Each structure stands twice: as structure tokens, then as C-alpha cells.
Amino acid sequence: MASDSSDDRRDALALASVRVSTFETTVEGFVVYHIDYTRVSGQILSAQRRYNDVAALWDDLSAAHPELPELQTFRFPRKSIFNTHSHFTKERRRAGFEELFRLLLEVGLERPLRAFLDGETAAAPRKSAAVRRAPRPRAPVW
């Protein structure tokens, strides 16, 4: 019976949907993306994450799951030196993050996504980007 209770609790925590609703620039000049997520239980929560947080999640999961071609070929929104604070760039990233989260749910990586949004694991937002592995080489876009 204990496993039924544990399964029920996990099911209630499962994600039904994830949406990146908007973004804003903080007083420090950082762009923060607002992520709204709904659990199967109907509970609606929100989180705020920066570009580097989502990039770290994608880097970690794509490295940990080379067997998922959908994840390996996903075109993560690039970081740009120019136009970083333009509305177009922020909107492109917002849409890309939302697409990534939808993909993670589709390929069965709901648990690490949920942990990332709830801030429970190493996939949670990082305090410092000083120690970060080099990005994987990407295929050129022609």
C-alpha cells in the first residue's frame, strides 16, 4: 500500500503543462523568463529563470541522454552578443524555451524538468556560471 500512496503523490506532482508566459529585465539588467506550470492535480505554480539556467538544463540533459535524437537535434536559442536585450531576441528565446519544455515532457524527461522548475536539484538555477563545461559543438546552419 505504501507504494500506491507514493505513486499517487508522484502522479499529483506530475506536470500537465509548462508555458513561458513572459520575460522582464531586472534592475540589475538581467533578463528573467517567467514560467507557469500546471501539475496534473490542477495546482498552478510559477518560476523565474535566466537564460543561463535554461541553457545549463539543456546542456546537462542533452549530454546525459545521447539516445534521444529529438533532444540532440533541438535548436536551442543561441546566446548572442548583439541584440541581447532586443524584444525580438527575448521573444525568440521565450518561444524556444517553451518548445524545449514541451519536448522534455514528450520524450519522458518530465522529472528533471519538474525538479528544475521546483528548484530541487543540480539542474536548478545556478548561483554562478563560472564553472560550466564547454558547449557541445553544433552543426552549422546553412
| Beta-bridge mates of residue 49 | 33
Contact 46, 36 (CB under 8 A): yes
Angle between helices 51-64 and 87-106 (to 10 degrees): 30
Each residue's pLDDT, cut to its tens digit, for the chain (142 residues) gives: 445 555 545 677 899 999 999 999 999 989 999 999 999 999 999 999 999 999 999 999 999 999 999 999 999 998 877 887 899 999 999 999 999 999 999 999 999 999 999 997 544 444 433 333 334 445 545 4
Half-sphere exposure of 35 (CA within 13 A, CB side): 30
Cell 536539484, located at residue: 121
DSSP character string of the chain: -HHHHHHHHHHHHSEEEEEEEEEEE-TTS-EEEEEEEEETTS-EEEEEEEHHHHHHHHHHHHHH-TT-HHHHT--PPPP-SSSTTSHHHHHHHHHHHHHHHHHHHHTT-HHHHHHHHHT-STTSPPS--SS-PPPPP-PPP-
Q: Can you give the C-alpha Rg of the chain in angstroms?
A: 16
Residue 135 has a pLDDT of 45
Residue 85 has a pLDDT of 81
| Beta-bridge mates of residue 121 | none
User: How far from chain centre, in Å, is Cα 33?
Assistant: 10
